[in-house]
């Protein structure tokens, strides 16, 4: 099995229904991770609340399956950790000052959504699914989208991007483990889009409107 520079194993599939679904199957079979699962093509990718995630050949689809070294009640903070890691990997690919972060799970290039993050608790393990628009971007959505190929050609391949993403994740994950959430929160807020603006938060059974002032401790 191939390994990334950090030593984390990585498996790359030509086609999967979903890298997150494969992570769940591996977890149910006893895999504890860490393990990156990548797919060159997904046939049934999904995001938050089961929404479909479009992906074509050349786009990035990957899931990290691992057992966090922290109580389960803190795992939600890892969405901020992986968002910072993804922003760092995208900085490497297209240069700094173009990437911003949108709560709870979007990564933007110059205001257009280019990537999404999905955390799923699998009992004692966690899967972090990531989709990045490398060569395609969905159309007809109520928000702006973006793709990497418009900023760098060719965009990084899945293996190279996974290596960069994993390296940034290891750095922020270690910081989170040793220093807690505070520095992660500060770094995330430094990239946050929409601070001070009116926003609508859509929850499963209601919507909340207000001013985005920050993220508490």
pLDDT tens track for 94-143? 988 899 999 878 999 999 999 999 999 999 999 999 999 999 988 877 78
Strand partners, 116: 106, 131
Q: Is the pLDDT of residue 70 over 80?
A: yes
Residue-level pLDDT at 194: 87
Handedness of CA 192, 197, 202, 205 (dihedral sign): positive
- Count Cβ atoms within 10 A of the Cβ of residue 211 and give its class: 0-12 exposed, 13-18 middle, 19 or more buried: exposed
Residue-level pLDDT at 52: 58
Q: Is the pLDDT of residue 16 over 70?
A: yes
**pLDDT tier at 151, thresholds 50, 70, 90:** very high
Residue-level pLDDT at 137: 87
Domains of the chain with CATH codes: 2-211 (3.30.930.10)
Mean pLDDT of all residues in the chain? 92
Tokens of residue 209, six digits = 């409107």
H helix and E strand count, the chain: 4, 10
Q: Is the pLDDT of residue 50 over 60?
A: no
Q: Is the pLDDT of residue 49 over 80?
A: no
Compute the average pLDDT of residues 152-179: 96
Tokens of residue 25, six digits = 């199957």
- Entry pTM: 0.92
């Amino acid at each position: 099995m191939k390994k990334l520079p950090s030593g984390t194993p990585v498996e790359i599939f030509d086609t999967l229904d979903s890298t997150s679904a494969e992570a769940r199957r591996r977890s149910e079979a006893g895999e504890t991770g860490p393990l990156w699962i990548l797919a060159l093509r997904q046939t049934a990718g999904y995001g938050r609340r089961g929404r479909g995630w479009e992906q074509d050949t050349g786009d990035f689809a990957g899931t990290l399956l691992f057992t966090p070294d922290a109580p389960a009640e803190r795992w939600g903070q890892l969405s901020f950790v992986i968002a910072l890691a993804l922003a760092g990997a995208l900085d490497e690919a297209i240069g700094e000052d173009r990437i911003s972060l949108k709560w709870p799970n979007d990564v933007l290039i110059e205001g257009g959504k280019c990537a999404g993050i999905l955390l799923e608790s699998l009992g004692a393990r966690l899967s972090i699914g990531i989709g990045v628009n490398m060569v395609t971007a969905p159309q007809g959505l109520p928000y702006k989208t973006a793709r990497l190929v418009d900023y760098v050609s060719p965009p990084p391949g899945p293996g190279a991007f996974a290596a960069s993403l994993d390296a940034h994740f290891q750095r922020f994950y270690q910081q989170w483990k040793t220093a807690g959430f505070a520095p992660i929160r500060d770094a995330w807020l430094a990239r946050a889009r929409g601070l001070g603006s009116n926003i609508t938060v859509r929850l499963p059974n209601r919507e909340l409107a207000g001013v985005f002032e920050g993220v508490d401790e």
